[in-house]
Amino acid sequence: MAPRTALIVGASRGIGAAIAARLVSDGARVVMTAPERDLGELEDRVSEFGGDRASLIVGRSEDPVHRARAVRIALERMGSLDALVVSAGTNTHHGAVMEAPSAAVERIMAVNVAAPLGWVQEAWRCWMAEHGGSVVIISSINAERNVEGLGLYCASKAALSHLTRQLALELSPHVRVNALEPGVVRTRLARALYEGREAELSNVYPLGRLGEPTDIAGAAAFLLGSDARWITGAALPVDGGVLLVEPE
């Protein structure tokens, strides 16, 4: 059974939008957030899903004022907060960790680690501590490996997957907290990784293709639903089997 209501962070496109669509199709109502620059795409999602099933709030994930406002408005509009999905992330540095400027380090850690923690803290304080719920955080398979030029991003995702396990321990038995670790998914954010070499990259994956946002949405719907009621603290690779392949 799907959750009745969900707050989805980073829902304007890609994985977040696909999760929102899947939850709505399963009968949930959703509140979606994204930065103000994505307002048009959020409005498209609300129109697509129907105003009685979805609403939007714009703001930056790393802004604690926005997080508090989003949770408050979600509760006012929907009456409960059964599920939280944090799909927002960034990578503002490509290159060696030793060459990373402090501004890039602070930005990546703020968005990829501190902000997800802040969302869970807010949802816990305002609703889930008393009523329970389920959380899914979008991490990455790069939490499990080193990738040349992406060291800082990998470190942030490793921290996020570990944070998931810690939150699962601290918030049990009332709230389940799990992470998904996608491989390369065909989204705008990942386009630089596969554009012009999709066939070559797909051959590395044992299942023979890159991921689609709907692949991640299906896994998220499972973890949020009652069929996963005995799963918490998991960091589930959804990666076409690529972690099975030894790096060259």
Q: Which residues are catalytic?
A: 153
Strands, sheet with 5-9, edge to edge from the N-terminal-most edge strand: 54-58, 29-34, 5-9, 83-86, 133-138, 175-182, 235-238
- The β-bridge relationship of strands 54-58 and 29-34 is parallel
Alpha-carbon distance 95 to 91, whole Å? 11
